[in-house]
A = this chain, B = another copy of it.
Amino acid sequence: MHDTESDDDRLDRAFLALADPVRRNLVARLSRSSATVNELAEPFPMSKQAVSRHIQVLERAGLITRTRDGQRRPCHLAPAALEELTSWIDGYRLAAEARYRALDEVLAAMKTANRPQEE
């Protein structure tokens, strides 16, 4: 299923999944322990169906996995998927920071070169 899905699609779904306070709250909750739909839905002032759909969004994004335990469908956080996101972000963040540091050095060097005789 979904053999031909691009990295872009995966990142789209993952970042979109995190762009909602309810779903981020679910991620936070699941980082403490796995939980069922009912357990996850309980704190929220909305229908269980709405929470179930939020869970599906997280699952399709690969951020959580689900197992079967009788009639329950426990949800488990998928740390590896979270790690992919931080890796993506950090690649560009570190490149930009390195560039800014290099620019600072150039500016510092120019400043020194312009006033070689000062203190």
Contact surface of A with B, Cβ cutoff 8 Å: 8, 11-16, 18-21, 24, 27-28, 30-33, 77, 79, 82-83, 85-86, 88-93, 95-97, 99-100
Q: Report the 9 A-B pairs with minimum CB-CB distance, sorted nearest first.
A: A15-B19, A31-B92, A16-B19, A82-B93, A15-B18, A31-B95, A8-B21, A86-B86, A77-B96
Compute how far the CA of A19 lies from the CA of B14 in the bound complex, rounded to whole angstroms: 7
Chain B residues positioned under 8 Å from A24 (CB to CB): 8, 11, 88
24 pairs, A vs B, C-beta closer than 8 Å: A8-B21, A11-B18, A11-B21, A11-B24, A12-B21, A13-B19, A15-B16, A15-B18, A15-B19, A19-B19, A24-B88, A28-B92, A31-B92, A31-B95, A31-B96, A31-B99, A77-B96, A79-B93, A82-B90, A82-B92, A82-B93, A85-B86, A86-B86, A86-B89
